[in-house]
Amino acid sequence: MIMLAKVVSYGGNSVRYALEKENAKTVKVNNMPDGLDPTAIWYMMKHHCQYHQAERTVGRKLERFMTTFVLSPSKEESANFTMEDWANLQDEALEVLDSVGLTPNGFSNEIKTNFTNSMNVGGLHSDSKSGTLHLHIDCCRVDMEGNTNDVHDIHLRAMKAAEIINMRHGWEQPQEIRNMRKVELAEDCEHTLKDMQQFNIDRYFNLLRMKGYEVKPRYDKQRKLVGYTVGKNASVFKASEIGRKFMASKIEDTWKKLHPQPTQVKTKPVSPYVVPAPRPVRPVVHTPTASQPKVQPQITQTAFTINIGDEVKKVWIPNSVKDVFTNEVQVPEDNDIATTENVAHVAMLLFGGYIDAATSMSENCGGGGSTPSSGWGKKDDEDDWKFAHRCAQMAHSMCKPKPRSRSFHR
């Protein structure tokens, strides 16, 4: 089992994601009334933190009121789990987290947490591709006694807790799981290259995505591929970690080694037979006539159908810039609702000139950031590539959550 930890700035999105994403199920609510919706849960936690923050006379003010944990047992480890088992795992994880003592830099004493006696809620998710179940736990930063849960090196605390739980249950340790997944990924990468009759890096990435991996290429300013990462089930690997032969600079050579060209047999040259040279024929130059029009190059495009509520928009994207929308967009760090597909669709709508539709879609996926100014569109001196990048940047800004009130932070 792997346990991930993160401190979030706006917990409302995190709770909604944990309890409302697709077929999510609420596992257990601790130190709060049952039956609360995600917004009410978040406001209870936030107001609890603010109430006790007013009593603090020393130290920095709290800026982030929630810590979220993700527990990912393997399919085999959670095969026969009931909802009661997941609830017990939630309580066990928090109990073990509280037992782990750390001494962060600048501290002289060992610090422990009290997440067990803090408001917390668990939501059970199922991976859309593999079907593997994982548990989201959102915890209040301040416990019921008004003490702040320390989050220095929270990821290390979570790793140690996962090791203890794995040892108790006889489960595989995180490093063992990571090593196993790296071997599995290397095999999938090699099989993918073997199946490709011609080398094409975009097709290689797409074939990996079809196997359930999340691929993120990285380009320099000249649009040259300089690296990529491949992830699945909370394990993300750089190409160099998978193996040197899968690095961006070596992968084409790897494909060539997997597809050796047949060797040509050298034959002994035959003595040439001299043939009398024919009389030269004057070449005839064919000039284009009205019946022979010049062939004009056509720009190939791909149509994307995008649903915005009850409305459907079809946006045509030139293939020369399609990669900007499908591979380069990123979800804003504080938005726990939006997906890369949501941000890509916002960017495509901007590219197609559907400003209102792009704004609606960004708001529907948790965005509340900046919006395009009046007169948005492609500039006269701007090519498709530059405009596509500008659309992607604007979509990223539009999908950022609404800024918090200044009264909540310094």
Q: At what angle do helices 384-398 and 340-352 cross, to 10 degrees?
A: 130
Position 215 scores a pLDDT of 92
> Helices in 259-383 by DSSP H: which ranges?
322-323, 340-352, 355-364
Mean pLDDT value of segment 15-42: 91
**Do 203 and 220 sit in the same domain of this protein?**
yes
Residue 212 in this model has a pLDDT that exceeds 80: yes
Domain boundary among 150, 172, 194: 172
Compute the distance between CA of residue 218 and CA of residue 215 in angstroms, rounded to an integer: 10
**Do 199 and 166 sit in the same domain of this protein?**
no
Residue 164 lies in a domain: yes
**Do 86 and 164 sit in the same domain of this protein?**
yes
Most trustworthy range by pLDDT among 56-60, 61-65, 115-119, 381-385 = 115-119
Residue 272 lies in a domain: no
Tell me the pLDDT band of 277, cut-offs 50, 70 and 90: low
**Do 67 and 148 sit in the same domain of this protein?**
yes
| C-beta pairs of 324-331 under 8 Å, 24+ apart in sequence | 324/385, 324/388, 324/389, 324/392, 325/351, 325/388, 325/391, 325/392, 327/205, 327/215, 327/216, 327/217, 328/217, 328/219, 328/389, 328/392, 329/392, 329/395, 329/396, 330/396, 331/399
Residue 90 lies in a domain: yes
**Do 312 and 374 sit in the same domain of this protein?**
yes
The full DSSP string for 67-89 is EEEEEE--TTTTTT--HHHHHHH
For residue 376 the two structure tokens come to 């948005």
**Do 17 and 164 sit in the same domain of this protein?**
yes
**Do 13 and 161 sit in the same domain of this protein?**
yes
Position 236 scores a pLDDT of 84
Report, in angstroms and rounded to the nearest whole number, the Rg of the chain calculated over CA atoms.
Answer: 28
Compute the distance between CA of residue 45 and CA of residue 404 in angstroms, rounded to an integer: 15
Tell me the pLDDT band of 404, cut-offs 50, 70 and 90: low
Q: Smallest Cα–Cα separation from 175: which of 400, 397, 2?
A: 2
Q: How many domains does the chain have?
A: 3
Compute the distance between CA of residue 195 and CA of residue 90 in angstroms, rounded to an integer: 43
**Where in the sequence is the domain holding 326, given as residue range(s)?**
301-398
Residue scoring higher pLDDT (32 or 178): 32
Q: Smallest Cα–Cα separation from 410: which of 61, 148, 150, 141?
A: 61
Q: What DSSP designation does 403 have?
A: P
Query: For the purposes of burial, counting CB atoms within 10 Å of the CB of 3, is it exposed (0-12), middle (13-18) or buried (19 or more)?
Result: buried
Residue 267 lies in a domain: no
**Do 306 and 366 sit in the same domain of this protein?**
yes
Tell me the pLDDT band of 407, cut-offs 50, 70 and 90: very low
Q: Check if the beta carbon of residue 239 is closer than 8 Å to that of residue 229.
A: yes
Residue 48 in this model has a pLDDT that exceeds 80: yes
Domain boundary among 144, 172, 200: 172
Residue 339 in this model has a pLDDT that exceeds 60: yes
**Do 194 and 161 sit in the same domain of this protein?**
no
Q: Among 89-98, 145-154, 196-205, 257-266, name the one with the lowest average pLDDT.
A: 257-266
Residue 279 lies in a domain: no
Residue 295 lies in a domain: no
Amino acid at 51: Y
Residue 190 lies in a domain: yes
**Do 197 and 339 sit in the same domain of this protein?**
no
Residue 30 in this model has a pLDDT that exceeds 80: yes
Residue 332 in this model has a pLDDT that exceeds 90: no
Q: What DSSP designation does 102 have?
A: B
- The overall average pLDDT reported for the chain is 84
Q: Check if the beta carbon of residue 74 is closer than 8 Å to that of residue 177.
A: yes
Compute the distance between CA of residue 19 and CA of residue 210 in angstroms, rounded to an integer: 27
Q: Check if the beta carbon of residue 65 is closer than 8 Å to that of residue 46.
A: yes
Mean pLDDT value of segment 283-300: 54
Residue scoring higher pLDDT (186 or 127): 186
Most trustworthy range by pLDDT among 94-98, 152-156, 320-324 = 94-98
Domain boundary among 147, 172, 197: 172
Residue 370 in this model has a pLDDT that exceeds 90: no
**Do 251 and 307 sit in the same domain of this protein?**
no
Q: Check if the beta carbon of residue 334 is closer than 8 Å to that of residue 10.
A: yes
What CATH number has the domain bearing residue 164?
A: 3.30.930.30
Residue 278 lies in a domain: no
**Do 133 and 241 sit in the same domain of this protein?**
no
